[in-house]
């Protein structure tokens, strides 16, 4: 293949690939999935491990992708997921392989995932209250999630990042508690603005808590200092000014979209290449692969899709001009 990097028409380099391995989940989080009625993909519609590895190899070996994140749905409900992690890890020793999970199945999986080559992990945790956890996730699994976090820590997965989707009047009163948890345990907490990708359609602008407001609440008790990184990323990162362990990050997809530095691309469970979480189009790769085309052919399709990546600013998330994608978050991949 001719290209060594995936560059879009705005000069952004795509080197962070998110691979959804399933659309299924054992939670029904209010900001993500409908409580019932979601039609699952059939088994034959989902990419096989060998197909995922092939696409990952093209992205890594031909286009210099450096980070691969395994997502879902809930990736740990995919049988033998540690085998896939090992297959992806075999592509390059220094490949940064991460996973986003709700943590419920980590108790039995964390060690095997680490041994397979998983480097670090993000665990979704939106509240520290048992009753509120059930209201948000719509399952009774708080104890299992907390045990999963401990299992990940014991397995040596570092850093452990906790993803908290902040919703006004639901859990925004806990942001300082999460900052305190980060300090006490050395975790990195990511505060994520509530995005209009939920399955039940409950999103409203007034439910969004802007990251700047969250930051102000935290800094009233724990002053922060910026901790920028060389590579672009969705989170604006901070450390605690007093040198306490842990860190804080803000993902401001609604109030301060980071489109101009976006380096992410997504592969859905059924093999659709998405250049933006909010994109209204997808480039199908599964049937292309199954038709027997060469890696070069697939590469040309990928290059064309990335070149046509949306600028992003026109999304106008949450405004009158915003058009919601047909798929919910769980169907796209986090």
Q: Would 32 be classed as within a structural domain?
A: yes
Distance CA 115, CA 267 (A): 24
Question: Which has the closest alpha carbon to 234: 175, 268, 276, 269?
Answer: 276
Reported as a pLDDT band with limits 50, 70 and 90, residue 322 is low
Q: Would 6 be classed as within a structural domain?
A: no
Q: In the prediction, which pLDDT does 253 show? A: 84
Give residue-wise pLDDT tens across range 87-103: 999 999 999 999 999 99
HSE of 215, CA atoms in CB hemisphere, 13 A = 19
Give residue-wise pLDDT tens across range 43-69: 999 999 999 999 999 999 999 999 999
User: Residue 159, preceding bond cis, omega within 30 degrees?
Assistant: yes
Domain that holds residue 188: 16-332
Give residue-wise pLDDT tens across range 202-228: 888 899 999 999 999 999 999 999 998
Q: In the prediction, which pLDDT does 116 show? A: 98
Distance CA 231, CA 15 (A): 10
Q: Would 9 be classed as within a structural domain?
A: no
> For residue 284, how many other CB atoms are within 10 A of its CB?
13
User: Stretch 6-17: mean pLDDT, rounded?
Assistant: 95
> Which CATH number fits the domain that encloses residue 314?
3.20.20.70
Flag whether pLDDT at 315 surpasses 50: no
Flag whether pLDDT at 317 surpasses 60: no
Flag whether pLDDT at 29 surpasses 90: yes
In three-state form (DSSP H/G/I as H, E/B as E, the rest C), the secondary structure along the chain is CCCCCCECCCCCECCEEEEECCCCCCCCCCCCCCCCCCCCCCHHHCCCHHHHHHHHHHHHHHHCCCEEEEECCCHHHCCCHHHHHHHHHCCCCCCEEEEEECCCCHHHHHHHHHHHCCCEEEEECCCCCHHHHHHHHCCCCHHHHHHHHHHHHHCCCCCEEEEEEEECCCCHHHHHHHHHHHHHHCCEEEEEECCCCCCCCCCCHHHECCHHHHHHHHHCCCCEEECCCCCCCCEEEEEECCCCCCEEEEECCCCCCCHHHCCEEEECCCCEEECCCCCCCCEECHHHHHCCCCHHHHHHHHHHHHHCCCCCHHHCCCCCCCCCCCCCHHHHCC
User: Stretch 269-290: mean pLDDT, rounded?
Assistant: 93
Number of folded domains that form the chain: 1
User: Stretch 26-35: mean pLDDT, rounded?
Assistant: 90
Q: In the prediction, which pLDDT does 210 show? A: 95
pLDDT higher at 139 or 199: 139
The percentage of the chain sitting over the pLDDT mark of 90, rounded to a whole number, equals 78
Q: Would 279 be classed as within a structural domain?
A: yes
Dihedral sign from CA coordinates of 268, 73, 128, 120: negative
Q: Would 296 be classed as within a structural domain?
A: yes
The percentage of the chain sitting over the pLDDT mark of 70, rounded to a whole number, equals 95
Q: In the prediction, which pLDDT does 258 show? A: 81
Flag whether pLDDT at 198 surpasses 80: no
Q: Would 170 be classed as within a structural domain?
A: yes
Flag whether pLDDT at 231 surpasses 80: no
Flag whether pLDDT at 314 surpasses 50: no
Q: Mean of the per-residue pLDDT values for the chain?
A: 92
Q: Would 149 be classed as within a structural domain?
A: yes
Reported as a pLDDT band with limits 50, 70 and 90, residue 316 is low
Q: In the prediction, which pLDDT does 323 show? A: 72
User: Stretch 131-136: mean pLDDT, rounded?
Assistant: 97
User: Stretch 20-40: mean pLDDT, rounded?
Assistant: 90
Q: In the prediction, which pLDDT does 1 show? A: 43
CA angle, residues 64, 68, 72, in degrees to nearest 5: 150
Q: Are 97 and 52 in contact (CB under 8 A)?
A: no
Q: Would 11 be classed as within a structural domain?
A: no
Residues ≥6 apart with Cβ < 8 Å to 91: 53, 56, 57, 60, 61
Longest Cα separation, the chain = 59
């Amino acid at each position: 293949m001719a290209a060594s990097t995936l560059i879009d028409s705005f000069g952004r380099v795509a080197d962070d690939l998110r691979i959804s391995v399933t659309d299924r989940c054992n939670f029904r989080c209010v900001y993500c999935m409908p409580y019932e009625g979601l039609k699952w993909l059939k088994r034959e519609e989902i990419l096989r491990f060998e197909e995922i590895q092939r696409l990952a190899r093209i992205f890594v070996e031909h286009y210099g992708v450096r980070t691969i994140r395994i997502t879902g749905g809930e990736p740990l409900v995919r049988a033998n997921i540690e085998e896939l992690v090992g297959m992806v890890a075999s592509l390059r020793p220094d490949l940064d392989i991460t996973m986003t999970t709700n943590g419920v199945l980590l108790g039995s999986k964390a060690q095997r995932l680490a041994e397979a080559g998983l480097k670090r992990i993000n665990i979704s945790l939106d509240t520290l209250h048992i009753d509120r956890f059930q209201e948000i996730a719509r399952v009774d699994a708080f104890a299992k999630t907390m045990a999963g976090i401990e299992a990940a820590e014991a397995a040596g997965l570092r850093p452990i990042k906790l993803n908290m989707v902040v919703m006004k009047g639901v859990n925004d009163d806990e942001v300082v508690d999460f900052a305190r948890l980060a300090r006490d345990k050395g975790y990195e907490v990511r505060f994520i603005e509530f995005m209009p990708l939920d399955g039940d359609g409950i999103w409203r602008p007034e439910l969004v808590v802007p990251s700047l407001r969250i930051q102000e609440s935290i800094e009233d008790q724990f002053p922060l200092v910026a901790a920028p990184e060389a590579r672009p990323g969705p989170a604006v990162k901070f450390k605690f000014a007093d040198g306490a362990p842990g860190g804080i990050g803000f993902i401001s997809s609604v109030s301060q979209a980071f489109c101009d530095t976006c380096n992410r691309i997504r592969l859905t469970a059924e093999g659709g290449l998405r250049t933006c979480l909010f994109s209204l189009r997808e480039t199908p790769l599964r049937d292309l692969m199954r038709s027997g085309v060469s890696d070069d052919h697939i590469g040309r399709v990928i290059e064309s899709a990335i070149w046509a990546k949306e600028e992003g600013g026109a999304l106008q998330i949450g405004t009158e001009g915003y058009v919601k994608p047909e798929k919910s978050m769980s169907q796209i991949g986090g």
